[in-house]
Chain A
Amino acid sequence: MSTTVDTLHHEEHHDHKPSGITRWLFTTNHKDIGTLYLWFSFLMFLIGGSMAMVIRAELFQPGLQLVEPHFFNQMTTVHGLVMIFGAVMPAFTGLANWLVPMMIGAPDMALPRMNNWSFWILPFAFIILLSSLFMEGGGPAMGWTFYAPLSTTYSNDSTALFVFSVHIMGISSIMGAINVIVTIMNLRAPGMTYMKMPMFVWTWFITAFLLIAVMPVLAGAVTMVLTDKYFGTSFFDASGGGDPVMFQHIFWFFGHPEVYIMILPSFGIISAIIPTFTRKKLFGYSSMVYATASIAILSFLVWAHHMFTTGMPVVAELFFMYCTMLIAVPTGVKIFNWVATMWRGAMSFETPMLFALAFVILFTIGGFSGLMLAITPVDFQYHDTYFVVAHFHYVLVTGAIFSVMAAVYYWLPKWTGHMYDETLAKFHFWASVISVNVLFFPMHFVGLAGMPRRIPDYSVQFADINQIVSIGGFAFGLSQLIFLWVVIKCARGGEKAAAKPWEGAEGLEWTIPSPAPYHTFEKPPKIEG
């Protein structure tokens, strides 16, 4: 061991790395790969976002103005796929790559070559998916949930491309997850016991197990769709002895843990940022860990709450209603703990903290509508309306995506060695937080009033609110260009950042200089206490 440390130590002085494009193509460095993931995610965020702009432009007024229903359906479908698999998940993997080794005192991820591979197959997955939009008959138009038989008998050949691209995304996610687990289990610095790990590491550790458990289920679902469509099987076709509702069971057995895959790392980020800017330790660390684990376990027992209207036996409906309501308890614990962390602290409001506070409030609103949706008899009314659209955009946009933005602002000084422009960043925050609520809050109302989701045209009673929603959407979309500008500006220069630019920050990543050297912790640090 000591000899390896010596040779690695030798390299530290000349930050050896290839230059140009080969640096990025062949890199096995966790920081480079983290950067690749994050830029890829932002690109996908813009592509998925521009599809949302098409959707909101068509829905600006009743009637069909810009696109035909078939193209509209492609937009809703691919928007969902790109945002989930292209924007949110890679953003978290990027953050894990950058942060997990630095937080646990490891020199790199445990499996660096696989790390390179798991990133570099992603662009191909999305090239396949996005290119299907240009094929004859267009891309997938069956919703991101690709319910059979709409995705089998009634779809065009873009389904084949869709299936292969999802397979590649799944392989990428599984490899990323394996890497995170192996790294955390093997490369923690001496003295860092599990219950001393930062919350972000804990939440990602649990997320990685969720990924390994459910991504193969998704792969199974898409494969069955493929064989039903092309190879004469009848998994989801009643005339051959199959069952279309079985598709939904399989899909949501993946889909619900997937929801938590996209929010648990956020919990970790928020649990890092709030204590920093409150200058107070996180309240109830161990209950936070247990709450995260309970949420993860419960997430396997609630999938059918997406399917209350499919005609399940009443006993099954009751079981899934109770389990779903139960998940509010550990989630509540997390929210209460964050609020208790703020209580009697000494708060300051830099941009990461603003996003974190907005997260707590807006994610809680998404949690409330989730609780309402859990009540089966009322879910019959909410199901497949804009109320649901409002709900999951509150948890995904003002939840997951806001937490990613908070994380980027928080660790940007560590990554680039420069402070970002605080004024511009605050402008980005306020523009985003106002427009996002103009965008998503009124959706609750049209949903309750009875507007179904995934429709390109609506009855005139919904016109006023849809107009407001669209205006909010355009404003939110434009606001993200400010984000892009702040990040580029910060990467190119700015006030030099100290090793620990935030007064209240704690953790190993703040013990190394800013910007973080290409190789860090070649000698494992000692964890005291």
Chain B
Amino acid sequence: MKLKRMLALPALAVMPAVADDTVRLNLREGVTEISQRVYDLHMTIFYICCVIGVIVFGTMFWSMFRHRKSKGRTPAKFHESIRVEVLWTIIPFLILAGMAYPATTTLIHMENTDDADVTVQVTASQWKWHYKYFDHDVEYYSLLATPDQQIHNKLPKGENYLLEVDRPLVVPTGKKIRFLITSDDVIHSWWVPDFAVKKDANPGFINEAWTIVDKPGIYRGQCAELCGNNHGFMPVVVIAKEPAEYEKWITNMEVKQRKAREREQELLSMEMSKDELMKMGEKVYNGICAACHQPNGQGVQGVFPALAGSPVTTGKDSITKHIDTVVHGVKGTAMQAFGTQLSMQELAAVITYERNAWGNDTGDLVQAADVNKVMNP
């Protein structure tokens, strides 16, 4: 099958417009009015280039075959003609002007973010997306869900390898959705090809984009701007649901998140056992911290500090400093403030894990209440 596909490639190369389900060679038409218009513009300019190419290369090859010395040609003497030169300045200009018109109207339409029905704030950070709904009390992080074993070739790769997340963004169909895009650290770029939306997430500034998704479905994209180590591991997944279903989902989510917050307050007084803490901590660590500090806690020399044997994770009186580092981050470095990203329980667990894994063995247990003391003094 693979071989057949590869053999078919040269044929497809001649006609990139041919769409194939297994080997995609062309731009997506997408699922929005805008993405369709963008696709049409793309095909128009592509065909214009093809026509110009055929004329120019055709003339060239004609010369190469007919006007060669080996056929005994004597070269012509002409080397100037104001008329043709004016002609081939003006004609391309007119073609371009014709192309500029639809491009301009589409662009103006794309940049008009007025009258949105739903507003979602998209905040990027190394290497995850955070979604916050403006009209509901719902917000969450969205992280790569592909297991590390697949990336390091220890398990077979799944169908949506590198294009799957733990919690996708959910939007209603048929509604104008406005995205407010920003970043907490470096520049990222939020891109969903099926919507023809790609907008940079700039730290300290907010960009706007919008879409109206016509068809329910799951749409996948990726971060498009180099954002450091795990730039290639920062997918975007959007689920578009019918408005009624979306309403059900979002109210449900709102209740769930409120309950989780209430429960967290209750849990402050509860103590977790070391086993529970270590188990939860390992999961959180591998999901979030390992991207920089590495699964073995060794970090990357000169870039990301090692946690194994570090004074912050093993020092006698370093618990408060350790909690503070994880909760508030380290300004001026890649270390983010995780206080807003994880629950207090998760923070307590991951700190306990870091203090006891990889031979750190301090025996220290950190509970949610300890974290609370640092977060809300």
Which residues does A use to contact B, with CB under 8 Å?
62-65, 69-70, 73, 135-138, 141-143, 147, 149-150, 153-154, 156-157, 237-239, 243-245, 278-285, 287, 309-311, 314, 317-318, 321-322, 325-326, 328-329, 332-333, 335-337, 339-349, 357, 360-361, 364-365, 368, 371-372, 375-378, 380-381, 383-385, 441-442, 444-445, 448-450, 452-461, 464-465, 468
Contacts and interface: CB of A to CB of B under 8 A. Distances in A.
A464 B7 CA distance: 11
Given A378-B38, A458-B162, A311 B202 contact: yes
B273 interface: no
Nearest to B332: A153
Interface string B135-162: 0000000000000001111000101111
Interface stretch (B106-114, B240-248, B260-268): B106-114
A456 B37 CA distance: 32
Contacts of A342: 60, 63-64, 67
Interface SS majority for chain B: mixed
Contacts of A448: 16, 24-27
B205 A457 contact: no
A455 B232 contact: yes
B373 interface: no
A383 B333 CA distance: 28
B163 interface: yes
A328 B92 contact: yes
B168 interface: no
A384 B16 contact: no
Most buried by A among B2, B100, B185, B226: B226
A284 B79 contact: yes
Contacts of B224: 309, 383-385, 452
Contacts of B13: 441-442, 445
Contacts of A341: 79
State the 8 A-B residue pairs at the shortest beta-carbon distance, nearest first. Answer: A238-B204, A137-B302, A455-B232, A136-B302, A311-B207, A344-B76, A368-B49, A281-B79
A347 B64 contact: yes
A282 B300 contact: no
13 contacts: A135-B302, A147-B226, A149-B187, A154-B186, A238-B205, A284-B85, A339-B56, A349-B68, A360-B60, A384-B226, A442-B9, A453-B226, A457-B233
B152 A63 contact: yes
A292 to B, nearest CB: 14
A150 B228 contact: yes
B196 A381 contact: yes
Interface in B44-90: 45-46, 49, 52-53, 56-57, 59-60, 63-64, 67-70, 73-81, 84-85, 88-89
B303 A137 contact: yes
A364 to B, nearest CB: 6
Interface of B: 2, 5-6, 9, 13, 16, 23-28, 37-38, 41-42, 45-46, 49, 52-53, 56-57, 59-60, 63-64, 67-70, 73-81, 84-85, 88-89, 92-93, 96, 99-100, 103-104, 106-108, 110-111, 126, 150-153, 157, 159-163, 181, 185-187, 189, 191, 193, 196-200, 202-205, 207-208, 221-233, 300-303, 332-334
Given A311-B205, A332-B88, A344-B76, A138 B303 contact: yes
A455 B197 contact: no
Given A385-B224, A450-B221, 20 more contacts: A62-B162, A63-B151, A65-B153, A137-B302, A149-B185, A150-B226, A280-B75, A281-B77, A284-B85, A309-B200, A309-B224, A309-B225, A311-B208, A321-B100, A342-B64, A344-B78, A371-B49, A377-B196, A442-B9, A452-B231
B196 to A, nearest CB: 6
Contacts of B162: 62, 457-459
Given A138-B303, A361-B60, A458-B232, A332 B204 contact: no
B303 A70 contact: yes
